[in-house]
Structure 1
Amino acid sequence: MGDLFLEVQIQNMSSSTVFIQKVLLEPSEMYIGIELNTINQDGEDESTFGTRTFLQSSEGRQYLYHLQLKPEYSEKASAIRELMDVGKLDIVWKRNLGEMPIVQTIQLETEAPFYGNIKLYLEKTPDTVILEEPFHITCKITNCSAKKMKLVLKMCDTASVRWCGNSGRYLGKLPPQSSLCFTLTLLSLKLGLQSISGLRITDKVLRKTYDYDDVANVYVVPSIIKMKC
């Protein structure tokens, strides 16, 4: 969906302690990079590793990053077929305090996202919903092909999620490289983490149907818990 989550595992393979001075992700011009290595404590961001900057022998740690493909590249994703430059990762470390730091650079690449003729992703969806009460999601469809489409939406119920409204809804004509948004209503019949599935989009021009399952997850709670929150 244009999002990448990068986990960097760093391990001290030497027999002595090493000091991590900096781990820096520099995304390419196609991506926006977000670090996920801090927590908010009393209004201030603190490192998940605390103030500890050293690694003992054989000790390791994990760094997390969220990379988002910029909209101007997302719209052109169907035309990109080769490896994409994600950016680079700089690890600055040293073996002993006082010595010159060592910079280790890792180039990052990934396969270009391929959406086929249609790309669908969620513009808006709730994280938490109430059991057996309607909630709304907003979807966006992009025509990644070179031909005009005529789209019809069909919604298929699952064991845990029901769609509200008429299935077989006509979404309209969609020119090449254009997008449209629509809002749908659902309700969940089971508690816990539930998957939103069962979207079927048919292009009447090419007579081709695209299936979308597990497009998102929502956490379903009883109404009394939601009221207390």
Structure 2
Amino acid sequence: MTSGAGAAGHSLAFRVMRLCRPSCQVDHPLLVDPSDVCNGEDSVNFKELLPGLVNGNDPGFWKRFELQEPMDAMGLSGQLVLPQTFGSIYLGETFCSYISVGNHTNHDVRDVIIKAELQTERQRIILSDNSKSPIESIRATGRFDFIIEHDIKELGGHTLVCMAVYTDPDGDRKYLPQYFKFTTSNPVSVRTKVFDLYDTTFLEACIENQTKSHLFMDQVRFEPAPPWSVTTLENEEEASESDGPISGYIKSLKLINGNGGARHYLFQLKRPPLESSDVKLEGANALGKLEILWRTTLGETGRLQTQQINGSPTPKKPLDVKMTNLPQRILIERPFLVRMEVTNRSEQFTGPLRVVMSETDDNGTPRTVLMNGLLSLMVPPLAPLASTELEVNLVAVAAGVQRVAGICLVDARDGRQVEFVPPTEVNFEALLFVANRSH
């Protein structure tokens, strides 16, 4: 790494080399046929040198464009190469450097204090400091080496400041600072979508690779905020009998290609019923954070955690009503009971209320599930954070999968609609079908 300031007039000088995994050496040789090395195409023995020549086919150069071995196309020589440049540093990776402070003069220096500090726009981090135990001396043409490590947690410009305080042969105390600058960038971009379905929230995360190399996802985990619980939804790929050990392993890798490759993840979030102590959390919309762990092609690790992901603002409802129990088998034109639970989530008394059900939907179409008997059911006043259960008598007039919808709570005093019961799909059996199945 190049320094922003030289060490002119000083006995010591810093050299910094970034420590990272070596890369594979790739050679692009000129592939020729072995017979061309010793003999030309006009040789009289040319046909004997080509064992694949049969029936007097033309032994031209067209055949020799094919590779002798499939692995030759990769150009890998089997050797590893140390990094020739500083390279790119990404957020979430570990910055590791080899620092060498050398004495390039013909005399020794004494009482050497060495300090390495990383400066960003927000903070300064001490990476190494031996001020409590200085080095007694660094001999002429000698050096002192050490390694520093730091997890990159900020984007933008970084400055590695290497400082040395020492005593020269004249007994003067000298101070040497050297600055090494580099910039960090974001390896991935994360886009999220949040959508609600009844009492379940789904979070879709799209992770896009912004680096030039491939990224192997070790783990993509969502850490829910209280009181949410999370389930990761993934496709389970079954191994085929024709898959060998290598192809089966490749299919199991969660790879994101470089230069804009992307991968999608889906999470299912659920919130448990609120207790009395959690009633104030209803208006909160914080879902949680996404944690991403990956490896590069040579195994270097990286870790990122997103900021808090927020969902749709949840309005605080004074009442909550839901169906808690439905019969396992329901026949058409036969009354059945549905148990409902009404909860007062406010901090004051509410009620009295009535449970009513509309006979038609918003388009004026008659409903296939109706209330049986009384068209309304009274709900007594509820204390703050209290709940009550009641049974509603319903009847279905059509077979098949039908929606139980249109049930709502209204104020018994002015008829104002307070809360709707979430619709539920139920399978209703016909009487004729039941009779045939019994025979």
| TM-score (ref. length: structure 1) | 0.72
| Structure 2 equivalent of residue 35 of structure 1 | 232
| Structure 2 equivalent of residue 24 of structure 1 | 221
Inter-CA distance 90–73: structure 2 relative to 1 (3 Å threshold): farther
TM-fit CA distance, 1:21: 0.9
Write 1 or 2 for the structure with the bigger share of strand: 1
Q: 1:135·1:186 contact (CA, 8 Å) conserved in 2?
A: yes
TM-fit CA distance, 1:18: 2.1
Structure 2 CA distance, aligned partners of 1:25 and 1:59?
A: 18
TM-fit CA distance, 1:179: 1.0
Q: Which is further off, 15-24 or 173-182?
A: 15-24
| Structure 2 equivalent of residue 3 of structure 1 | 199
TM-fit CA distance, 1:219: 4.0
Larger Rg: 2
| Structure 2 equivalent of residue 140 of structure 1 | 341
Structure 2 CA distance, aligned partners of 1:73 and 1:23?
A: 34
Candidates 293, 296, 305, aligned match of 1:95: 296
Candidates 358, 382, 388, aligned match of 1:156: 358
| Structure 2 equivalent of residue 67 of structure 1 | 270
Which structure 1 segments of 5+ residues have no match? 42-49
Candidates 412, 415, 426, aligned match of 1:204: 412
TM-fit CA distance, 1:22: 0.8
Q: Between Structure 1 and Structure 2, how many residues are aligned?
A: 216
> What secondary structure is seen at the aligned counterpart in 2 of 1:7?
strand
Structure 2 CA distance, aligned partners of 1:5 and 1:127?
A: 27
Inter-CA distance 197–103: structure 2 relative to 1 (3 Å threshold): same
Structure 2 CA distance, aligned partners of 1:147 and 1:169?
A: 19
Structure 2 CA distance, aligned partners of 1:220 and 1:200?
A: 22
Q: 1:149·1:204 contact (CA, 8 Å) conserved in 2?
A: yes
Q: RCO (CA 8 Å, sep 6+): is it higher in 1 or 2?
A: 1
What amino acid is the match of 1:177?
Answer: L
Cα displacement string for residues 11-62 of structure 1 (whole angstroms, at most 9, x for unaligned residues): 43445432111121222222233333376x9xxxxxxxx8342234534333
Candidates 379, 392, 401, aligned match of 1:184: 392
> What secondary structure is seen at the aligned counterpart in 1 of 2:275?
helix
What amino acid is the match of 1:27?
Answer: P
> What secondary structure is seen at the aligned counterpart in 2 of 1:177?
coil
Structure 1 CA distance, aligned partners of 2:295 and 2:368?
A: 53
Task: Work out whether 1:84 is the aligned partner of 2:280.
Answer: no
Structure 2 CA distance, aligned partners of 1:127 and 1:38?
A: 31
> What secondary structure is seen at the aligned counterpart in 2 of 1:101?
strand
TM-fit CA distance, 1:196: 2.0
TM-fit CA distance, 1:191: 4.9
Structure 1 CA distance, aligned partners of 2:402 and 2:311?
A: 29
Inter-CA distance 75–143: structure 2 relative to 1 (3 Å threshold): farther
**What is the RMSD of the two structures over their aligned residues, measured on CA atoms?**
3.6
Inter-CA distance 214–179: structure 2 relative to 1 (3 Å threshold): closer
Inter-CA distance 155–187: structure 2 relative to 1 (3 Å threshold): same
